[in-house]
Amino acid sequence: MHEYDDAVLECFLENQLKLFPENVAETLEEAENFLEECMAVVVDSVEEVIEYFEEEGIDLDGAVGDEILEADEVFEIGDGRYLIVEG
């Protein structure tokens, strides 16, 4: 099980509409439960985001660096970490 701290949960609550057509969570607790269910991943760098997509075999269509961070599944937490949620 992953540990999602408040920064991660708040980031997801604020930005969930970029990935989903409607809010899937309203509270920190709901956000944590949702992220656990979809096995969301927190990584510490852009390089780890890229590694994650490569390991999952997700086609990045040649996207590099910042382009990958624009993917709907990638949420920038704001402290150098990224949340990856597969919808």
Rama region for 84: left / alpha / beta (φ>0; ψ in -120 to 50; rest) = beta
Q: Structure pTM?
A: 0.88
The pLDDT of 71-76, averaged and rounded, is 93
- How many Cα atoms are found within 13 Å in the side-chain-facing hemisphere of 83? 31
Cβ 19 vs Cβ 72: under 8 Å: yes
Which tens digits make up the pLDDT trace of 42-72? 999 999 998 998 898 877 777 776 788 888 9
pLDDT tier for residue 87 given thresholds of 50, 70 and 90 = low
pLDDT tier for residue 1 given thresholds of 50, 70 and 90 = very low
| Structure-token pair, residue 62 | 């040649």
Three-class DSSP category at 81: coil
pLDDT of residue 61: 72
